[in-house]
Structures are given as C-alpha cells and as structure tokens.
Structure 1
Amino acid sequence: MSRGEQIYKGKAKIVYAGEDPDTLVLHFKDDTSAFDGEKVEQLASKGKVNNQFNAFIMEHLQAAGVPTHFLHLINDTDSLVRRLDMIPVECVVRNRAAGSLSRRLGVEEGLILEPPVFEFFLKNDALHDPMINTSHILSFGWASEDEIHAMRRWSLRVNMLLTALFAAADLILVDFKLEFGRYEGELFLGDEFSPDGCRLWDAKTLEKMDKDRFRRNLGGVVEAYVEVARRLGVPLS
C-alpha cells in the first residue's frame, strides 16, 4: 500500500493520506522527544517497536469491544487507520502518582490512587498541554457533553483492560493518555498506545520501562520497550 500526501508531522509519527479517503497511514519514527520537544534524539528501531506494540494493544482493545481507529499493520513502521475528526483533548488516567501529578500536588511518586484519577488536558504543545475541565471543553466547543462522558467511560474501560493485561506480565500500568476522534458520528479511540504515552514499572523492582528512561537519562529506552513487548507476547519482526 502506498502513502499519499503528508497530512501531519509530529514528534514521533508522520501521518499520510491513505489510498481510501476514509483512511490514513501512520508512520512511526525513530525520533524520541521529551519536554514538549526540547529534548530530541533518534533511537534505532523505536518506530518499529512502537508500531507493532500499538497494533497489539489496539487489537486487544478491539477484541474487548473498544472502538479504535486501527485497521491493520502495513509494514514494520506503518499502520493503516480510519481517518478521524480528532478531538483536541487528551484523556489521562492515573493509577499511581507520577510525573506532573506529583509535581502539581506535592505527592510522593508511586502513591497508589484509588479510585484512579481521571484528567483532561488540552492538546497544544505551544501551551504545554494545560489541564482543563469539562466546562472548558463545553464552552470552547471541543466536544459535546455526551462525548465527554463517552471519553471518560472508554478511558476507564481501557484502564481496566490494560491494567489486567500488564499485571499478567508483571508490569504496573502507572498512567497513560488517550485521544479520541469522530467517525460517522461515533467516537473512536485514536492516536497510539505505546510506552511513549504511558508509564510502566516492573512489578517487583519498580524499574521504569517507559519513556521516563529517556526523560531521566536512564538509558536502555528501546531495550525496555522490547522487554515490555516480550512479556506481553507482542510479535516483533
């Protein structure tokens, strides 16, 4: 399958038009960035690992009834997806305190959050993805009230499914972000799910197995991603 015109170039992916007008091609790059693009490096094979990791997770969620934009893998670094009208909001679910939550509230990293914390952020790198609430979303017309409820419902459903999946692989799903979009009037999970957009810790040692290894200069970023994939049974080519 050939790529069409470039639609969007992000920090970790390039989006191309698909052969069908209702589809897009996601190309996963080896680029790795942190702190809103202030720190950028290329890590060999990261794009390939994330593409195949994302396919595995999306197919797992689809099998459990979660509507996603994922259609199929094209090759090692490209996937075919539905073209969604994306909602400019990130949905974040936190099972343990880490990252910006620990900084904002002054709570210890690793604190178990019961029930999980759910937050909305505006997807805007220039503004550093500020935290928002349902009033902002409604007032600025980013999503309807029904869509807000659906994003929350699906995010918590994904959390339940993936917490169990990772726990079976001796991993703790600390937190993650999701993005949603519209297709033919229905809400679908879009973007990607990979160690770039979540925090994963080894259940026994609490070793970080996600992009925090890059943020904190711990090294072994791709190696950690591959180890997570191996534990889950992701078929890396």
Structure 2
Amino acid sequence: MRRKRIYEGKAKVLFEGPEPGTLVQYFKDDATAFNNQKKGTITGKGVLNNRISEYLMMRLESIGVPTHFVRRLNMREQLVREVEIIPLEVVVRNVAAGSLSKRLGIEEGTALPRSIVEYYLKNDALGDPLVTEEHITCFNWAGPQDLDEMMQMALRVNDFLTGLFLGVGIKLVDFKLEFGRLWEEDQMRIVLADEISPDSCRLWDIKTNEKLDKDRFRRDLGKVEEAYQEIARRLGVLPEAGPLDMQGPKVMQ
C-alpha cells in the first residue's frame, strides 16, 4: 500500500501516520548545506540520525520537555505527533562558530560569556534570515507567550544536552531546534519537533576539537559517515545494522 506523502524536506520525508494526529518521519541519507547550494549523500546518515534523535528526544521527555516523538518504527522511521510547525529555527550558541563567527568577527572556538539564543525565519528562498522578537511578534509568526515558552525550553534543552554530551567527551558548540503547536481537543501546547542530530548540532571532541557533525560535509573535511557513527557510538546507540541498512559501518576505536 502506498503511503500518502505529506511533506518532503532536505533530510526527511513525512508520511501520513497510522492513526489520526500522527505522522511517520523518514530519515534520508541526503545532505545539503548553504541553503541547498551544496548537495550530497552521507551513507547511513538517516539510520544514525533516527537512532540519535530517538535517544535524545526520549531523554528530554524524561526530564519533562514535551516533544512530538512517539516511538521509533524501524531503522529509518519514527512515529511522531502531527504539529503545526512554527516557522522559526531557534539556535542556541555556547561557543562561537559558523555564521556567528563570520557575522561578528569572533574567532571560531571562542567560548561565549553566556549562551545566546537566536531566531531565524524558516525560508530557504530568503536564506533563513536572522530575525528579532520584534519581527516575530509583528508578523505573528509566534506570540510573546509562545516565544517565552520556546526560549525557556531551548535553554533547558541546552543545559541538559551540554551535560549529556560532556559525559561522553563532546562539546555542544551550538544547535538548532524547531517547535510546533500540538492541538489536543481545545488545548494547544508548544512542543519540541523535527530532530536533534549531528545534522542540527555542532559537536566537537572535547580534547581535540575535532568536528563530529555536518560541518565535516559543509567544509569538505572528509570522514563524514565516521563522525556520525562516532556520535552514535559514544551515546551507546550505534545500530546493529546489516549491509542493506548501513552499507557496512565500521565502529571507530
């Protein structure tokens, strides 16, 4: 039976779910950077991101952060609640890197005096521009109360993930979150949506500052698959996959 495709993004496909109010989120191996100007494939990325995101979403649920995640279905798919995505990317930064370094001339790797939360409008055609709370409330992308909730949740996620990654020798440099409105009868609540994976985080080895995330693809650093596998290995979620699923990943010692 063919499933109804609801939406296809750069890294995932959403299909109609088995019951009302659910979707099936399928993780692709496709990789893009610089607002889709650079494209490629990272073998097994979808399998690894599915596992990593499942693990992190479940850990966040366990400390009371509401998410759209329900359960993992198979190697590449997970069941999620259907939400109305808020058209913003919420970026939390702990260390200067990427666009922040370029925009403000701060050397990459500089620890920030405190965590910074930034908002970007989800719009590929415009290059996902940086926006302020004034823009967001003026154009009604989210209300002041929504923003307060998203900010509080983002900082809570940052505190938790910083400690979790520190425990496995990884520095959480920065990461991107997306949120959605979950409607249950007449009640609406903001929940964490999308994914948390090396696609959406900058993760550096704490001793060597080696990049273990999508920057390896963006910057042609090589060993991209190995970096994603290393994150899964350190988190203890490296799949026991066959060659059809992963095309033979090698566990790094």
What interval of TM-score do these two structures reach, taking the shorter chain for normalisation? over 0.9
- How far the C-alpha of 1:236 sits from its partner, in A, is 1.7
**1:33 is aligned with what amino acid?**
T
- How far the C-alpha of 1:229 sits from its partner, in A, is 1.2
- How far the C-alpha of 1:165 sits from its partner, in A, is 0.3
Contact in 2 for aligned 1:3/1:18 (Cα 8 Å): no
The C-alpha deviation readout for 1:1-58, integer Å capped at 9, x for no partner, is x773111111100111102120011000010111111111112111101111110010
Give yes or no for the alignment of 1:101 onto 2:100: yes
Instruction: Provide the residue aligned with 2:43 in structure 1.
Output: 44
Cα distance change on mapping 1:8 and 1:212 into 2, 3 Å: same
The C-alpha deviation readout for 1:93-143, integer Å capped at 9, x for no partner, is 000000000000000001101211110100111100000011111111111
Give yes or no for the alignment of 1:180 onto 2:179: yes
For residue 208 of structure 1, the aligned residue among 207, 211, 220 is: 211
**How far apart in 2 are the matches of 1:23 and 1:200?**
31
**1:35 is aligned with what amino acid?**
F
Instruction: Provide the residue aligned with 2:75 in structure 1.
Output: 76
Structure 1 counterpart SS, 2:78:
strand
Structure 2 counterpart SS, 1:205:
coil
What count of residue pairs does the alignment treat as equivalent?
Answer: 236
**How far apart in 1 are the matches of 2:101 and 2:155?**
21
Instruction: Provide the residue aligned with 1:134 in structure 2.
Output: 133
**How far apart in 2 are the matches of 1:173 and 1:122?**
23
Identity %: 52
Structure 2 counterpart SS, 1:178:
strand
**How far apart in 1 are the matches of 2:228 and 2:42?**
11
Structure 2 counterpart SS, 1:234:
coil
**How far apart in 1 are the matches of 2:10 and 2:238?**
25
Instruction: Provide the residue aligned with 2:192 in structure 1.
Output: 189
The C-alpha deviation readout for 1:187-218, integer Å capped at 9, x for no partner, is 00000000001100000000000000001101
**2:52 is aligned with what amino acid?**
F
**How far apart in 2 are the matches of 1:145 and 1:216?**
37
**2:118 is aligned with what amino acid?**
E
**How far apart in 2 are the matches of 1:3 and 1:196?**
28
Contact in 2 for aligned 1:92/1:119 (Cα 8 Å): yes
Instruction: Provide the residue aligned with 1:223 in structure 2.
Output: 226
TM-score normalised per structure 1: 0.97
**How far apart in 1 are the matches of 2:228 and 2:105?**
29
**How far apart in 1 are the matches of 2:15 and 2:102?**
37
Contact in 2 for aligned 1:3/1:17 (Cα 8 Å): no
Give yes or no for the alignment of 1:236 onto 2:239: yes
**How far apart in 2 are the matches of 1:192 and 1:20?**
21
Contact in 2 for aligned 1:14/1:27 (Cα 8 Å): yes
- How far the C-alpha of 1:173 sits from its partner, in A, is 0.2
Instruction: Provide the residue aligned with 2:245 in structure 1.
Output: none
Contact in 2 for aligned 1:89/1:120 (Cα 8 Å): yes
The C-alpha deviation readout for 1:47-84, integer Å capped at 9, x for no partner, is 10111111001001001110000000010000000000
**How far apart in 1 are the matches of 2:104 and 2:238?**
39
